[in-house]
């Protein structure tokens, strides 16, 4: 693995601190609210190692991720995993999902960390493709007795819409997701639709759950004559705000409670990287309380 790839496996900067602060405060509020409830409380960190990604970092795709190769990087083990494990009141179970065997080896060290020896037996490290692992977990008939918080912090566009649907069907999971608004999605939306690689178009359909983005993000009525001929081009006609609003709209089609104030996380130069969304699958009072807490925390970003 090249030095550039190692750098790109590490996230950092002020935006990282913001997302981890929100996550930590939410987890504490969550376990506090449920401490006297009979449910088993689970924390699930899918895509646990930040090095996991689907798009190879090569000459063609590296520019999509250049903001991540910044100074002041911070690796995963100093981030969300430790925050979850340090949360008091504690969760009953901690599940970390990761595709890379090397990252799994790093995650296994958490069980041997003296700070977490008392809860080592509650830590589960699962190696495999995170979408598949999470959908399998969501399909189990356990959710009338369990409640969970899922944290989705992908490197790029790995989170599939079918995974979000599986989470919503549990009626028992709260989910925080970093949607790669400017870091990846806006960049693969090429200015000229005809120049978009088919794999990129397919990935966009996979993360949005439909291909409606084609008509929403591209102006199909504007014809541009080329050298007096009859050829036309379909041009990109969307803003970052419109892209983020569309993903928010899609979440509201499957979740009963979705925070209306997702936060934009920017890099050190002020360029938007991610949009932090919250959704709750519980349609009852628990979902309303969770939504209120999440929206309050998002206001602080």
Question: DSSP of 40-71, one letter per residue?
Answer: EEEEEEET-STT--SS--STTTGGGGGGGS-S
Mean pLDDT of the region 59-81 = 45
β-strand pairing of 257-258 with 272-280: antiparallel
* Sequence ranges of the chain with CATH classification 3.40.50.150: 3-180+241-299
For the ranges 106-110, 252-256, 266-270, the one whose mean pLDDT is highest: 252-256
pLDDT at 55: 33
Q: Copy the structure tokens of residue 65.
A: 């991720």
Answer whether residue 9 shows pLDDT above 80.
no
Answer whether residue 60 shows pLDDT above 80.
no
**Residue 4 pLDDT grade (very low, low, confident, very high; cuts 50, 70, 90):** very low
Which one is the CATH code of 3-180+241-299: 1.20.1740.10, 3.40.50.150, 3.20.20.300, 2.70.98.90? 3.40.50.150
**Residue 166 pLDDT grade (very low, low, confident, very high; cuts 50, 70, 90):** very high
**Residue 226 pLDDT grade (very low, low, confident, very high; cuts 50, 70, 90):** low
- Nearest alpha carbon to residue 283 among 165, 168, 177, 146: 168
pLDDT at 73: 30
pLDDT at 47: 81
Answer whether residue 139 shows pLDDT above 80.
yes
**SS3 (DSSP) at 173:** strand
pLDDT in tens, 116-128: 999 999 999 999 9
Mean pLDDT check: name the lowest of 69-83, 146-160, 167-181.
Answer: 69-83
Answer whether residue 299 shows pLDDT above 90.
yes
Residue pair 149/177 in contact (Cβ under 8 Å)? The answer is no
**Residue 61 pLDDT grade (very low, low, confident, very high; cuts 50, 70, 90):** very low
The overall average pLDDT reported for the chain is: 85
Answer whether residue 186 shows pLDDT above 90.
yes
Percent of the chain with pLDDT over 70: 82
pTM (predicted TM-score):
0.86
Residue 178 to residue 276: CA distance in whole angstroms? 5
Phi, psi of 93 (to 5 degrees): -150, 145
Of residues 14 and 247, the one with the higher pLDDT is: 247
Asked whether the CA dihedral 48, 49, 50, 55 is positive or negative, the reply is negative
pLDDT at 198: 95
β-strand pairing of 235-236 with 123-127: unpaired
Q: Which residue has the tokens 């080896």?
A: 105
């Amino acid at each position: 693995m090249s030095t550039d790839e190692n750098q790109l496996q590490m996230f950092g900067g002020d935006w990282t601190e913001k997302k981890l602060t929100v996550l930590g405060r939410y987890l504490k509020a969550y376990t506090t609210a449920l401490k006297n409830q009979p449910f088993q409380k689970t924390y699930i960190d899918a895509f646990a190692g930040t090095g996991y990604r689907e798009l190879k970092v090569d000459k063609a795709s590296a520019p999509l991720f250049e903001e991540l190769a910044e100074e002041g990087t911070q690796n995963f083990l100093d981030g969300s995993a430790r925050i979850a494990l340090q949360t008091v009141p504690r969760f009953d179970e901690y599940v970390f999902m990761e595709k890379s065997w090397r990252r799994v080896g790093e995650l296994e060290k958490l069980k041997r960390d003296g700070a977490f020896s008392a809860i080592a037996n509650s830590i589960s490290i699962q190696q495999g493709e995170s979408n598949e692992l999470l959908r399998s977990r969501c399909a189990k008939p356990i959710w009338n007795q369990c409640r969970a918080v899922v944290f989705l912090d992908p490197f790029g566009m790995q989170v599939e819409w079918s995974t979000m649907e599986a989470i919503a069907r549990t009626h028992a999971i709260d989910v925080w997701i970093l949607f790669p608004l400017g870091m990846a999605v806006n960049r693969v939306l090429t200015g000229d639709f005809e120049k978009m690689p088919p794999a990129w178009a397919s990935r966009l359909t996979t993360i949005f759950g439909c291909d409606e983005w084609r008509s929403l993000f591209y102006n199909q009525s504007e014809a541009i004559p080329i050298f007096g001929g009859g050829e036309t081009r379909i041009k990109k006609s969307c803003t970052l705000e419109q892209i983020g609003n569309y993903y928010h709209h899609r979440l509201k089609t499957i979740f009963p409670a979705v925070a209306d104030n997702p936060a934009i996380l920017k890099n050190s130069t002020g360029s938007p990287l991610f949009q932090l969304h919250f959704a709750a699958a519980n349609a009852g009072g628990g979902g309303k309380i969770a939504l209120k807490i999440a929206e309050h925390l998002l206001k602080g970003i």
